[in-house]
Amino acid sequence: MAPPADLREWIGLLEREGELTRVAAEVDPDLEVTEIVDRTVKAGGPALLFTNPKGSDHPLLINQFGTERRMCLAFGVKRLDDVAARLEDVLEMQPPQGLVEKVRGLRKLKSIADSMPKTVSRGACQEVVLTGDDVDLDLLPIQRCWPGDPAPFITLPAVITRDPKTGTRNVGMYRMQKIDRRSTFMHWQLHKDGRMDYLAVDGKLEVAVALGLDPVTAYSASAPLPKHIDELMLAGFLRGEPTELVKGKTIDLEVPANAEIVLEGYVERGDEGIEGPFGDHTGYYSPAEPFPTFRVTAMTMRRGAIYPSIVVGKPPAEDAWLGKATERIFLPAIRMSVPEIVDYDLPVAGAFHNCVIVSIRKAFPGHAQKVMHAIWGLGMLSLTKTVVVVDEWVDVHDYEEVFFRVGANFDPKRDVLLSEGPLDHLDHAPTRQFYGGKLGIDATHKGPAEGTREWPEEIVMSDEIRTLVDRRWSEYGIEAEPGADGARPRSLRHLLRR
Ligand SMILES: Cc1cc2nc3c(=O)[nH]c(=O)nc-3n(C[C@H](O)[C@H](O)[C@H](O)COP(=O)(O)O)c2cc1C
């Protein structure tokens, strides 16, 4: 099934699939929504449409991405790996041989060409236009998420800017603390492309903020693409249809025509204030720091616009599945640079940057260390604090198995690599902000060239006996049948089914 074309189609799909609950009771966006959503997310519950948020006429949609099933529905796939496979198909394109391959190759090229956003003359996002003094962020049910947050925050925006030198568009998801009816802060962290655009201007930088998009475009705003690649092109490729854009009313930027709400405006170098603290996805409050002020010149909307939100906090929270989508979708791109990587996993509890488990096809002494350095040099993965490397036959998504390999295979004196480098903007643990230690754990099998004694053979039951026991299991009268591999309980696999 094709991914939904806009937020309303998405809500319809969620409802038909039994994945959405409408909450008619009046609920306060000030903290109350968070407590409800946090309980719902942690119980694996449905998306919630608050139709009567206190103080606003606009319904509030939340937890749209909160489970693997909903994430797959958003992309119109059975497994998130199916999305990765489509990208891999394009990335691995070889010169075609023979007519059939040429036709297939042309189709692939067409799917790339069709991904380019296209400008249209009218968009539903401009059915209502408020400019100047009529702009009023108080109209929206913006959440204050946690008790220590000083103000409400817009949490699920797609923020659009243009590189002043190259003209390349950037779309990113950055929280926006409301200052008053017509301004917010823009939380562009140190390593983000959005911030680069801001730093590249002397004066004003125009900014558009799209709220309430189809789920794939909303996801794409959070995707860690290299700066020169337009996130809206990724959205078009993943949806199989170009993103339609309309010209802004007060700025020279184009905005997604299907958005529920668009904020147009600008930031200006030097116009900054103290943003935060904010209860963040690390599970702690991020500190108050200076960030640019976003001044809103127009607020445009669909009639009856639906406001989207997300709560981040102690993992697991709704953003876990946005992160998992990135983990799966970017595996082929990572393999382009580091082909010996078989698979990787960013445990949700590791808040994305704290830990990466990676399995490799090990071919030479020090290979695990090579991969650790590669990860510390790759895009946003470079901010990873801990890298655990295991052999290709280890299931990186099975944390019990990984823990077993670490316990069994590593010598802390020989197999730990301590390094240092850039760290996530929000990481409160390092002594200095942005910079600190890195830990690599080599849990692969080692050979004599890596200074080990003879490596012992791993215990595995013979195929003959396994088949025999499979065949006779019902005769034994033992109720609980272990997994098909017969070796381990299901452990944490149910949390991260693949
Ligand atoms: C729910 C959510 C909230 C986020 N909030 C922020 C934020 O406030 N600031 C930030 O720099 N990145 C934030 N991110 C991460 C960025 O969206 C992500 O790194 C993105 O790739 C940045 O795009 P850019 O590199 O093009 O700037 C958030 C991600 C999610 C899923």
Measured distance CA(222)–CA(226) in Å, rounded: 12
Task: Note the pLDDT tens digit of each residue in 36-79.
Answer: 999 999 999 999 999 999 999 999 999 999 999 999 999 999 99
Q: Which amino acid is at 424?
A: D
Query: Whose C-alpha lies nearest to ligand 1, atom 2?
Result: 173
Task: Note the pLDDT tens digit of each residue in 427-479.
Answer: 999 999 999 999 999 999 999 999 899 999 999 999 999 999 999 999 999 98
263: number of Cβ within 10 Å:
27
Confidence band, pLDDT 50/70/90 cuts, at residue 97: confident
Rounded to two decimals, the pTM is: 0.94
Q: Which of 173, 280, 380 has most ligand 1 atoms within 8 Å of CB, for mutation?
A: 173
Is the per-residue pLDDT at 492 higher than 80? no
Q: What's the CA dihedral at 380, 381, 386, 389 to 10 degrees? A: 180
CB of residue 158 inside a 6 A radius of ligand 1? no
CB of residue 173 inside a 6 A radius of ligand 1? yes
Q: Residue 40 in contact with residue 469, Cβ under 8 Å?
A: no
CB of residue 317 inside a 6 A radius of ligand 1? no
Task: Note the pLDDT tens digit of each residue in 315-325.
Answer: 999 999 999 99
CB of residue 84 inside a 6 A radius of ligand 1? no
CB of residue 7 inside a 6 A radius of ligand 1? no
CB of residue 192 inside a 6 A radius of ligand 1? yes
CB of residue 312 inside a 6 A radius of ligand 1? yes
Task: Note the pLDDT tens digit of each residue in 415-437.
Answer: 999 999 999 999 999 999 999 99
Query: Whose C-alpha lies nearest to ligand 1, atom 7?
Result: 174
Measured distance CA(254)–CA(219) in Å, rounded: 19
Confidence band, pLDDT 50/70/90 cuts, at residue 482: low
The contacts of residue 123 (CB under 8 Å, 6+ apart) are 244, 245, 246, 255, 256, 257, 258, 259
Is the per-residue pLDDT at 18 higher than 80? yes
**Catalytic hit among 6, 38, 214, 280:** 280
Would residue 477 be called left, alpha or beta, if left means φ above 0 and alpha means ψ between -120 and 50 degrees?
left
Q: Which of 190, 216, 222, 285 has most ligand 1 atoms within 8 Å of CB, for mutation?
A: 222
Confidence band, pLDDT 50/70/90 cuts, at residue 169: very high
Q: Residue 378 in contact with residue 430, Cβ under 8 Å?
A: no
Query: Whose C-alpha lies nearest to ligand 1, atom 18?
Result: 222
Q: Which long-range contacts (CB under 8 A, 24 or more apart) does 409-413 make?
A: 409/442, 409/443, 409/444, 409/445, 409/446, 410/441, 410/442, 410/443, 411/452
Q: Which amino acid is at 166?
A: T
Query: Whose C-alpha lies nearest to ligand 1, atom 20?
Result: 222
Q: Which atom of ligand 1 is nearest to the CA of 172?
A: 23
Instruction: Give the SS3 label for residue 102.
Output: helix
pLDDT for the residue 497? 37
Is the per-residue pLDDT at 491 higher than 70? no
CB of residue 177 inside a 6 A radius of ligand 1? no
Residue corresponding to tokens 């200052």? 179
CB of residue 222 inside a 6 A radius of ligand 1? yes
* Residue 312 to residues 112, 219, 280, 318, 319, Cα–Cα distance (Å): 33, 15, 6, 7, 6
The contacts of residue 171 (CB under 8 Å, 6+ apart) are 158, 159, 160, 220, 221, 230, 231, 232
pLDDT for the residue 88? 84
Distance 171 CA to ligand 1 centre (A): 10
Q: Which of 160, 174, 220 has most ligand 1 atoms within 8 Å of CB, for mutation?
A: 174
Q: Which atom of ligand 1 is nearest to the CA of 278?
A: 8
pLDDT for the residue 377? 97
pLDDT for the residue 14? 98
Q: Mean pLDDT score of the chain, rounded to an integer?
A: 94
Distance 174 CA to ligand 1 centre (A): 5
Mean pLDDT of all residues in 11-33? 98
Q: Which atom of ligand 1 is nearest to the CA of 189?
A: 11
Task: Note the pLDDT tens digit of each residue in 285-305.
Answer: 999 999 999 999 999 999 999
Mean pLDDT of all residues in 406-412? 96
Is the per-residue pLDDT at 496 higher than 60? no
pLDDT for the residue 93? 65
Q: Which atom of ligand 1 is nearest to the CA of 222?
A: 17
CB of residue 172 inside a 6 A radius of ligand 1? yes
pLDDT for the residue 316? 95
CB of residue 224 inside a 6 A radius of ligand 1? yes
Task: Note the pLDDT tens digit of each residue in 188-227.
Answer: 999 999 999 999 999 999 999 999 999 999 999 999 999 9
The contacts of residue 163 (CB under 8 Å, 6+ apart) are 169, 170, 196, 197, 200, 227
Q: What is the DSSP letter of 343?
A: E
Instruction: Give the SS3 label for residue 300.
Output: strand
Q: Residue 388 in contact with residue 356, Cβ under 8 Å?
A: yes
Is the per-residue pLDDT at 151 higher than 80? yes
Whether 280 is a known active-site residue: answer: yes
